[in-house]
């Protein structure tokens, strides 16, 4: 079975034989001598042609956050079916979720820099969240128009609260 993996802008295609042990892997028509063992729910040991890698892999939305050499990257995996669906334009678009600004930690909305209707540039300051005695500045991940704000200054918000929405 073919697998397409995406790390940032890099794409790697593998031919995987999952029912052999160790799992057979081919990259660019070259067989890779691969031995992967799960050590704990989130840790794996991987030997590729003798090289030893200790990997931490957690699920991260549609993909996996993989830590190798203390660097974490997001890896998206598509199998044959997924690749086909993509070709026919049938995969789910996620652009509508990119503009949803959600806080990853609880805290206090200390300052709001923008108002509904504002044109927002990528990396523009949006608001300040006070948490752990520090002021945390949140910037926009996208460019677009601010369609709504769901909090006001002084609000205490929980982790995961939707703060504002930007239409791309």
Partner 1 sequence: MIQKILITNRGEIAVRIIRTCREQGIKSVAVFSDVDRTAPHVLKADEAYPIGPAPSAESYLNVSRILEVMQASAADAVHPGYGFLSENAEFAETVIRAGLKWIGPSPDAIRLMGDKMAARNLAASVKAPVVPGTTEPISDIRTALETADEIGFPVLVKAAGGGGGKGMRIVSRAGDLEAAVNRARSEAVKAFSDDRIYIEKYLEEPHHIEIQVFADTQGRVISLGERECSIQRRYQKIIEETPSPFIDDQLRRKLSDTAVEITRACRYTGAGTVEFLVDKYKNYYFLEMNTRLQVEHPVTEMVIGFDLVKEQLNVAEGKPLSFPDKHLHPRGHAVECRIYAENGFNNFAPSIGKILELDFPQGPGVRLDEGVRAGQEITPYYDPLLGKLITWGQDRSEAVERMLRALQEFHVVGIETSIPYCLLIIGHESFRSGNYCTKTLEEIGSTLEEQGTSLSAEAAIAAAVGAIRRDLINTPAPAARTLERPQNSPWSMQGRKDGLR
| From 17, 31, 116, 137, residue interacting with partner 1 (rule: CB under 8 A) | 137
| From 20, 21, 69, 117, residue interacting with partner 1 (rule: CB under 8 A) | 69
Q: Is 62 in the site for partner 1 (CB under 8 A)?
A: yes
**CA dist 27 → 4, 24, 64 (Å):** 11, 10, 20
Residues 149-168 that bind partner 1 (CB under 8 A): 159-160, 162
Three-state SS at 23: coil
Q: What are phi and psi of 34, to 5 degrees?
A: -125, 130
- Cα gap 130→166, rounded to integer Å: 22
Q: Is 51 in the site for partner 1 (CB under 8 A)?
A: yes
Q: Is 30 in the site for partner 1 (CB under 8 A)?
A: no
Given a contact cutoff of 8 angstroms between Cβ atoms, the answer to whether 137 and 89 are in contact is no
Q: Is 114 in the site for partner 1 (CB under 8 A)?
A: no
Stretch that binds partner 1, among 113-121, 127-135, 145-153 (CB under 8 A): 127-135
- Cα gap 105→110, rounded to integer Å: 14
| From 24, 55, 114, 143, residue interacting with partner 1 (rule: CB under 8 A) | 55
- Cα gap 155→140, rounded to integer Å: 20
| From 54, 116, 148, 153, residue interacting with partner 1 (rule: CB under 8 A) | 54
9 vs 115, beta carbon nearer partner 1: 9
């Amino acid at each position: 079975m073919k697998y397409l993996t995406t790390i940032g802008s890099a794409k790697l295609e593998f031919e995987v034989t999952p029912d052999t042990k160790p799992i057979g892997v081919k990259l660019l028509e070259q067989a890779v001598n691969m031995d992967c063992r799960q050590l704990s729910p989130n840790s794996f040991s991987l030997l590729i042609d003798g090289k030893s890698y200790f990997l931490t892999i957690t699920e991260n939305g549609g993909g996996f956050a993989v830590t190798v050499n203390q660097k974490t990257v997001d890896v998206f995996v598509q199998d044959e079916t997924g690749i086909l669906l993509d070709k026919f334009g049938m995969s789910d678009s996620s652009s509508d979720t990119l503009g949803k600004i959600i806080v990853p930690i609880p805290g206090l909305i200390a300052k709001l820099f923008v108002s509904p209707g504002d044109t927002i540039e990528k990396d523009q300051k949006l608001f300040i969240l006070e948490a752990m005695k520090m002021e945390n500045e949140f910037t926009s991940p996208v460019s677009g128009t601010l369609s709504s704000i769901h909090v006001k200054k002084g609000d205490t918000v929980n982790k995961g609260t939707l703060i504002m929405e930007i239409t791309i």
